[in-house]
Structure 1
């Protein structure tokens, strides 16, 4: 409410776009309620993009999956870009030592990264943002370069069924 209300950040962003300082405006978020929150944001303003988590563990949450599908439908209808994050999320670090520049434990083996990246890329209407780690970036780009557009998400999901993953958000 504060960001989108009078005198809020959105007004400053709109002014920046009107002055030619930025071209596109998007809204980002995390957590299991973010897809629903993005729907509410799109009711209030015509954002150019939304950014939110998208991976098998998030989509295993029935509420999140339903909200994600509703958001994707609205975004397709309104030509809003859907940026996805957390594709490589294996789960929370927990007590494990943090070995990458991500706040969650990512997949690090190329085969797991391939499956995670291909799972996202097999979904029409979304695109993949990379993880924020310089050592993971080449592996993500490698996986993306080998993606076959004929890949079906259900096939990749079956391959991922045996990979240990835990939700980042509950």
Structure 2
């Protein structure tokens, strides 16, 4: 979509430039990720990342945040599972971790994230840390949370039969 506006760029060079810029872009976590991810892992949960970014920038950002080791699965659009809103990344996570899709909760801040989860047969939770508003996500989300930091309380509610 950018190429018509950038006639001096070739597609391959632009893709490479965007990937390299993405690797260097600083990530600003919405919550303290280390304690959150440790708490989720302590519950016995298996965690993954599915992004429409390339895999290399995702890995670099997770490393920079010091949380790469918390994830059992990481896929970008270029990891061989397709891009969201297709279900490929969610299905690949389920297969790689020995779960069925209906045992997966896809947490995301965009309609693409939630549509991917739904298409795979996973439960969905929207978070308001992207540009979407609650009303943008609510028709695709089982729940809309302010951010991923609210996930433990939501999971506690499910365990107690409130979710």
Which TM-score applies when normalising by structure 2?
0.30
Instruction: Looking at secondary structure, tell me which structure has more helix per residue.
Output: 2
Which TM-score applies when normalising by structure 1?
0.29
